[in-house]
Amino acid sequence: MAVNPSSIASLNPIDIASHGPVIPVIVIDRVADALPLAQALLAGGVKVLEVTLRTAAGLPAIEAIARHLPEAVVGVGTVVNADDARSASEAGARFAVSPGYTSEIGGACRALSLPLLPGVATSSEIMAALADGFSFLKLFPAEAVGGIPLLKAWASPFGQVSFCPTGGITSASAADYLALPNVRCVGGSWLTPADAVRAGEWTRITQLAREAQALRAAS
């Protein structure tokens, strides 16, 4: 059953885009890396952190960040069902991001008062998300499904929708996405390179975060 749009006001995502132009999409293999990685991003001015559920370390990493770094806005990515949403909320996630959208996920997040950034890749998915009260959406996987030309094409029929494109975006292409009027922020994994995390190169990650924060002004 679709969520009643009139009852979904509490589900409007927190204004994550107001904190900066890039949301890091974080994959953590070792829980011990969670706090120093989050601290490195915070030092670079990146406050909103999307920790994915792609590894077993995801949930405990969210819990560690939520408990020890309250200044961070830690959320959960790769939410694909209601159980994911519930587990992440219990771990302390402050928002959820899904690769696609179903009313089950929307309803679960509504019940949890967990703000949701739903993923879409087609016009039909946008319409389904809009019907359930969501107008700030994640385009995923952005580059694979059409990227900038697709977002430009959607601007007219979906003028009430704003996007956070994620998937295949790099430091080189991010500014072009951010220049679009219907893009509020982008998601990217380039802020937390796997080799830098493995080696504990936190200064490098801080620098990448600083560069990402400067992207809006350059776009």
What are the structure tokens assigned to 38, written together?
């989050």
Instruction: Respond yes or no: is residue 138 known to be catalytic.
Output: yes
152 is catalytic: no
Which of 47, 50, 63, 143 does the annotation list as catalytic?
50
Q: How far apart are CA 207 and CA 191, in angstroms?
A: 9
Nearest CA to 166 among 30, 2, 16?
16
Residue identified by tokens 């009260």 is 133
Catalytic hit among 47, 63, 138, 143: 138
User: ∠206-97-32 over CA atoms, to 5°?
Assistant: 45
Name the residue among 16, 13, 19 with its Cα closest to residue 209.
Answer: 19
Q: State the Cα–Cα distance between residues 116 and 152, nearest whole angstrom.
A: 24
Q: What residues are labeled active site? A: 50, 138
